[in-house]
Amino acid sequence: QVQLVESGGGLVQPGGSLRLSCAASGRILRIVTMGWYRQAPGKQRELVADFPTGGSTNYADSVKGRFTISRDNANNTVFLQMNSLKPEDQGGHYCYGRLGGVPYGRCDYWGPGNQGTVPS
């Protein structure tokens, strides 16, 4: 079955960098979009960046100029390079994919997330 496998999460001091990876596995016929959300404790999950197939990348205003999203299409993998991290970047980060696959067709998928990014 289709699933998202994340790597690279962790805690980093302010000003540091972190690179997240997320690979979609399974019988994938189409990637509509892949990206990253974050969720601070007690708050709703919010979009950090995404990369729709055939479209332009999107970034939250708070991360523009600091974060870069990219994709390795041959391996169905999305990356998020996070530079100049700030305390407000804290929260678990979750890989998201809207994928068309077998056997369930087009579905939304979530990675397991990590435990945080930057301490407050």
pLDDT, mean of residues 87-106: 92
pLDDT computed for residue 120 by the predictor: 58
pLDDT given at position 23: 97
pLDDT for the residue numbered 50: 98
Q: Please say whether the beta carbons of 20 and 79 come within 8 A.
A: yes
3-state secondary structure of 58: strand
- pLDDT tens profile 89-98: 988 999 999 9
> What pLDDT does 109 receive?
95
User: What is the reported pLDDT for 35?
Assistant: 98
Q: Which token pair is 10? A: 């962790």
Nearest to 48 by CA among 9, 100, 101: 9
pLDDT in tens, 25-84: 999 999 999 999 999 888 899 999 999 999 999 999 999 999 999 999 999 999 999 999
Give tens-digit pLDDT for 2-24: 999 999 988 889 999 999 999 99
With 70 as the cut, is the pLDDT of residue 110 above it? yes
Question: DSSP class of residue 38?
Answer: E
Torsion angle of C-alpha atoms 57, 114, 9, 23, degrees rounded to 10: -60
